[in-house]
Amino acid sequence: MSDEIYFEGDPATDSARRHLERVLKEPERRRWPWYLAMFAGGTAFAIWHFQKRRRNGTNSSEDGTGQARPAS
C-alpha cells in the first residue's frame, strides 16, 4: 500500500482543522494585564521625566540657555 493514500483526509488539513478547533474552544485571554503594564510604564516614565527636570533645575523662568532670566 502506498504511503501517499489517506483514507480520512489530508493530515496537514486535518491537523490545521484540529488546531483551529482547539483555539476556538479556549476561553478568551484577558487583556487587562497588558493595559495595566502600559499604564504603569507610562506613569513610571512620566515620574522619571519630571524628577529629571526638577533635578536639572529647569523651570519656566529660564530662557533655554541654562541661566535664569533677570527679574524685571
Domain boundaries, the chain: 8-42
Q: Reduced to 3 DSSP states, what percent helix, strand and coil does the chain have, rounded to the nearest 5?
A: 55, 5, 40
Structure confidence by residue, pLDDT tens digits, 1-57: 456 655 566 666 678 888 888 888 888 878 889 999 999 999 999 999 999 999 888
Residue among 51, 50, 72, 69 nearest 61 (CA): 69
| pLDDT for 44 | 97
Q: 0.85 exceeded by the pTM?
A: no
What cell was used for 18? Answer: 484540529
Higher-scoring residue by pLDDT: 60, 38: 38
Please tell me the predicted confidence (pLDDT) of residue 52.
92
pLDDT of residue 58: 64
Longest dimension (CA), the chain: 100
